[in-house]
Amino acid sequence: MVLTLALLAGLIAAWLMIAVVEKIRLGLRFAQALLYVPFKLAYRIADDRIKIARNAQAPVIYVISHQSRIEPALMLSLLPEDTLHILDDASARSPWLEPWRELGRTIAFNAEHVFVSRRLVRVLKGKGRLAVYLPDAVEPDVKSFRLFRAITRIAMQADARIVPIFVGGARYLPVSLTPAAIAPRHWFPCLSISVLEPMTIAELVARNPDQASNTNALFDRFAEARFAATDLERGLFVAMRDAADRVGASHPIIEDVISGALSYRKLFIGGRVLGRRFEAVTAPGEAVGVLLPNANGVVLTLLGLLSGGRVSAMINYTAGPASVTAAVRTAVIRTVVSSRAFVEKADLADIVTAVETGGARLLWLEDLRESVTPLEKLTAAVLWRWPLQPQNAAKPAVILFTSGSEGTPKAVVLSHKNLLANAMQAEARITISPADILLNVLPVFHSFGLTGGTILPLVTGVKLFLYPSPLHYKIIPEIARKVRPTIMFGTDTFLANYARTAKDGDFSSLRFVVAGAEAVKPETRRVYRDRFQAEIIEGFGLTEAAPVVAVNTAIHGRDGTVGRLLPAMRMKLEPVEGISDAGQLWLDGPNLMMGYMTADRPGELQPLTGWHDTGDIVAVDREGFITIRGRAKRFAKIAGEMVSLGAVEMLVQSLWPEQRHAAVAVPDKRRGERIVLVTTAEDADPEELRKFGRQAGAAELMVPNDIVKVREIPVLGSGKTDYVSTRKLALDKLGVAA
């Protein structure tokens, strides 16, 4: 009895002592600190940034993501005592919350009337504080989005600052408000409180003045708080391991058509075994070429290189021998990992020769696999959770080569932080979960296929099914019928061809399709909506941004645009001579590359400093939706007027929607340049096109007089039109000197 009492007294004393420490450290009242201690100990809460919220000058509105039943208790313990908490009905009545409700002022939430109350504006104008709990939805529905509008109005009327708060990890608690299939439960996950600096609505809008909507400025700031909950300093390997911890090491995470499915544990074991072999033949920080298709082997290789502190240089084997040799030399690649079976099946003997011509040797996965000993497998099975080398998120992780659609490819160097940031920016904008299955047919040497189609699922627990070629138009719909994916990535060209060969039920499992690299044609969008009940959400990116810059969502989307800027990114538009309603896009954000390597300075990182010029001409509407007018290089200057070649293609596509078209500019002695249409439409007629252009209200300069008919328009491995080859083809056909 005495021992029990002594133990109890010791526990109470420890509780009181920790409460005193927390009171001093965070500036809490003692009662707040006392009730905060159980949360602090149970969930090892990273809470340093809560000081930003506590020190915010009133009037202030705390906008809190309500993911679980503990957020109200946490915030009542941590926010200033004069804060008025607007609670949902369940939190306002819950018996267990009674001690915490005594810590501050609370009122019950009424979704229909609470935010139009003048009382809240008066509270704020009297130097008050409000805590508002919003539903945890990446893509809020109309009713939830109405709350953002209401908060915006109140903040503007009271000139109040906004402080977004997101409790990272709360959605995985047993008291989570998210279904368990989407957020697997853990009794004691580590929590981290993400708090952003206080800003008024006017200040939020001023950060991206080209996105003028007040409500969207608040919505984007809230998404930033979700994004900021990710620790970008942990690196890709650790982020993938954390995902394994969240969804379970036995969770099937990758699968291909040959090797079958691998769980997280098996993936990490295989990656560690390969990483040991890579360590033996390469130096830390060395660029190691990866010449592999979309299959389990490429993910194992990437993970092994990450674990071993090497840089994965993704070789585009569709670019041709000359480009491959140039890539090997530009990035100073000495070793390239490949597969004999793949090289033989894809008939890539010339690419292997090109690699060797560039000065690299081949390391074959088949040889590595045969040489693995039982002891190595056992060691990897025991130590799979730990990387082989210390991880530094600021160092290079991947080298990608630009598509070269308009010129010589360059090597783009991306850090762990760039890639992880972009994956989590996308996760803060698009609703995905471990309940999803992602079918990726885009090659990993393309930034879209790497970040969106490979890294994003690995760091979020989404099961990934890899298929080696996007060009198998008949097979991919059959694969989709068997795999039942809920998400697919693709380009308009690929998606349109899949739809032509697919049966009605092949893509019926899809929730949405993310499309990029080229504009989505209205016909492609209509087919997927009508036949497969799947929404195509169009996005925009560039390799230098790792790659996603903007994206529509299934709920917040606008056809014909590429969506809205991702969280934590900024943009500015520079005026372009001859274009009044659009500008040249410059970007800044945590996903922007480390820098380039170029052929004239091989192996030397030329760092990006400040803003990045994308070379794209874009227009932005009041809601922040971005419309691509074309590349700056994809404008023709005709008699002093700037004409978008992309707009020409859209005009032609409206007339002959079943065919493929590319508009290119060629020299013209009289007017500087003229537009040539390269098309697969056999019956394309210049007079018919001119007549259609007049009916559509197109300027006469936009309508090509020259039409070159071809069987196929050249494309790159990424699915984009190869404009360099297309222009050369047009010049040859017309007999015009470049």
Q: According to the model, what pLDDT value does residue 357 have?
A: 92
Average pLDDT of the residues in 461-467: 94
Residue-wise pLDDT for 329-360, tens only, equals: 999 999 999 999 999 999 999 999 999 999 99
Q: How far apart are CA 36 and CA 31, in angstroms?
A: 9
The DSSP symbol for 659 reads S
User: What percentage of residues in the chain have a pLDDT greater than 90?
Assistant: 49
The mean pLDDT of 100-125, rounded to a whole number, is 76
Q: What average pLDDT does this structure show over 434-441? A: 93
Task: Say yes or no to pLDDT of 626 above 60.
Answer: yes
Hey, where are the domains in the chain? 35-229, 234-600+610-628, 639-734
Through-space distance between the first and last CA atoms of the chain, rounded to whole angstroms: 97
Q: What is the pLDDT of residue 640?
A: 62
More confident residue, 133 or 577: 133
pLDDT at 521: 84
Q: What is the CATH number of domain 639-734?
A: 3.30.300.30
The closest alpha carbon to 569, from 594, 596, 551, 582, belongs to 551
Quick one: pLDDT at residue 114? 47
Two structure tokens written together for 685: 């007629």
What is the structure's pLDDT at 89? 85
**pLDDT at residue 265, as a whole number:** 96
* Long-range contacts, 200-208 (Cβ 8 Å, 24+): 200/155, 200/159, 200/160, 200/161, 200/162, 201/152, 201/155, 201/156, 201/162, 202/156, 204/162, 207/570, 208/565, 208/570, 208/571, 208/624
pLDDT (average), residues 186-200: 94
Contacts of 143 (CB under 8 A, 6+ apart): 111
- pLDDT average, residue stretch 676-697: 79
* Both tokens assigned to 187: 């009794």
Q: Cα–Cα distance between 100 and 344 in angstroms, integer?
A: 67
DSSP summary character for residue 714? -
Least confident of 530-539, 562-571, 577-586: 577-586
More confident: 490 or 651: 490
The band of 719, judged by pLDDT with boundaries at 50, 70 and 90, is: low
Q: What is the pLDDT of residue 520?
A: 83
Residue 102 structure tokens:
């005594």
pLDDT tens-digit series, residues 520-542: 888 888 888 889 888 888 888 88
Q: Give percent of the chain above pLDDT 70.
A: 95
d(CA 481, CA 209): 45
Provide the annotated active-site residues: 66
Q: Tell me the mean pLDDT in the region 26-41.
A: 92
Cis preceding linkage at 189, omega within 30: no
Q: Per residue in 122-155, pLDDT tens?
A: 888 888 899 999 888 888 877 778 888 889 999 9
Give the lowest-confidence range in 24-38, 52-66, 399-413: 399-413
pLDDT of residue 737: 58
Question: pLDDT confidence of 575, banded at 50, 70, 90?
Answer: confident
pLDDT digits 0-9 by tens, 653-672: 877 887 888 888 778 777 67
DSSP 261-329: EEEHHHHHHHHHHHHHHHHHHS-TT-EEEEE--SSHHHHHHHHHHHHTT-EEEE--TTS-HHHHHHHHH
DSSP 565-632: EPTT-EEEEEEETTEEEEEEEEEESTTS-SEEEETTEEEEEEE--S-EEEEEEEEE-TT--EEEEEEG
DSSP 175-222: TBSS-TTTS---SS---EEEEPPPB-HHHHHHHSTTS--HHHHHHHHH
Query: How many whole angstroms separate alpha carbon 460 and alpha carbon 440?
Result: 15
Helix (H) or strand (E) holding 473: none
Which of 718, 692, 78 lies closest to 441 in space, CA to CA? 718
d(CA 501, CA 451): 28
**What is the structure's pLDDT at 34?**
92
Length of the chain (residues): 738
Please work out, in degrees rounded to the nearest 5, the angle formed at the alpha carbon of residue 58 by the alpha carbons of 167 and 111: 60
Q: Is the pLDDT of residue 170 over 90?
A: yes
Cross-strand bridge partners of residue 598: 601
Answer whether 84's CB lies under 8 Å from 91's CB: no
Three-class secondary structure of residue 559 per DSSP: coil
Determine the distance from the C-alpha atom of residue 4 to the mean position of all C-alpha atoms in its chain, rounded to a whole number. 54
CA–CA gap between residue 438 and residue 427 (Å, rounded): 14
pLDDT band at 709 (very low <50, low <70, confident <90, very high): confident
* pLDDT per position as a tens digit, 365-416: 999 988 888 998 999 999 999 999 999 999 999 999 986 544 566 899 999 9
Q: What is the DSSP letter of 715?
A: B
Q: Which helix (H) or strand (E) holds 396?
A: strand 396-401
Residue 212: band (very low, low, confident or very high) from pLDDT cuts 50, 70, 90: low
Say whether pLDDT at 160 is over 80.
yes
As beta bridge partners, residue 62 has 131, 163
Distance separating alpha carbons of residues 135 and 88, to the nearest angstrom: 10
What is residue 320's predicted lDDT score, i.e. its pLDDT?
A: 83
Q: 10 Å Cβ neighbour count for 101?
A: 18
Q: What is the mean pLDDT of residues 16-20?
A: 89
Largest CA distance in the chain: 104
CA dihedral of 614, 616, 621, 625, whole degrees rounded to 10: -70
Rounded distance, CA 319 to CA 718, Å? 10
Per-residue confidence (pLDDT) for residue 415, from 0 to 100: 96
Residue 310 predicted with pLDDT over 90: yes
pLDDT score, position 379:
92
What mean pLDDT do residues 447-461 have? 93
Strand 548-551 and strand 564-565: the pairing is antiparallel
- Of the listed ranges 196-205, 223-232, 317-326, the one predicted with least confidence: 317-326
The domain made up of 234-600+610-628 has a fold known as: Rossmann fold (3.40.50)
CA–CA distance, 450 with 690 (Å, rounded to integer): 42
* Mean pLDDT value across the chain: 87
Average pLDDT, integer, range 220-234: 91
- Residue 85 scores a pLDDT above 80: yes
What is the tens place of the pLDDT at every residue in 584-621?
Answer: 899 999 999 999 998 888 989 999 988 998 888 888 88
